[in-house]
Copies of this chain bind each other. A is one copy, B any other.
Amino acid sequence: MTEPDTLPDEGADPDSPEGRGGAASVIPAASPGSGRSGLDRRRVLGAAIEFIDSEGLNALTMRRLGAHLGVEAMALYRYVPGREQLLDGVVESVIDELYGDPDVHLGASHGWQDYLQRLAHGVRRIALAHPEVFPLVATRPPAAPWVRPPLRSLRWVESFLDALIDSGFSEESAVSAYRAYSSFLLGHLLLEVSQKGVKISPEDQPEGVPEAVAATDLSAYPTVVRLESLLSLDESAAEFEEALENLLGRLEVVLREGRTPRRGDPRT
């Protein structure tokens, strides 16, 4: 399964925003002249993403977004029906970045494992590029109960199912794989970005006295204290990779044995 080249030696995360060519970056903006004014739905959505990335989700208001675009708040309503739909548009735009990622393919031309691996890393790249937006991707109610985050578009669901079915999966197995894959991506990536957020977010504490900070009393939790350095290690990339490979392994068994795994079946 070749796989997209992987980690050189230690550390370097291939999905981190700086660590790659530049897919999963900002929206190019539609207008040809692309000068200052000339609003546009794409531009509004792009500015919203940019704004959330840099100021945080809570800071996004119609008025401020307007100001960011050099325009009054009400001008935005010509391109977006309201704030909620603006956020929906943001979510849609962000996952649409997948289409622009040259490493992610819509079909399983190099095998389903390659397909799933590339797709997973593509989504991870997006999550890491927009850590403040990803929780929105994760929690906004999907259009239909069977469109699951983070692959929130019919087109990707279709692509996913086709890829697996074309590769020999039964329809049941493909659907069940879709569910397992969604859970896996959502859990790992949401945890990873929420953790990333905490590294900076605790609203810069301009403590006059850096000593005696309000560090909660840890004496009741000796194990946590003892393992603090282990717990603080950021192994996101390795964990992601390992969980992904485990999932692929499970699916391989399902494919080989041609069945949907069921409770009560004898193991392996």
Contacts and interface: CB of A to CB of B under 8 A. Distances in A.
Contact of A183 (B182, B188, B197, B232): B188
A250 B261 contact: no
- Interface range on chain A: under 10, 10 to 19, 20 to 34, or 35 or more? 35 or more
A198 to B, nearest CB: 5
Contact of A187 (B158, B188, B262, B267): B188
| Chain A contact residues: helix, strand, loop or mixed | helix
Interface string A232-245: 11110011011101
Nearest to A182: B191
A138 interface: yes
This chain's copy number in the assembly? 2
15 contacts: A141-B194, A143-B216, A145-B234, A146-B224, A148-B194, A158-B223, A161-B223, A171-B230, A172-B230, A174-B227, A182-B191, A183-B239, A184-B187, A187-B190, A246-B246
Interface of A: 7, 135, 138-139, 141-146, 148-149, 154-155, 157-158, 161-162, 165, 171-172, 174-176, 178-180, 182-188, 190-191, 194-195, 197-199, 201-202, 216, 218, 220-224, 226-228, 230-235, 238-239, 241-243, 245-246, 249-250, 261-263, 267
B191 A148 contact: yes
A185 B148 CA distance: 16
A194 B228 CA distance: 33
A179 B149 contact: no
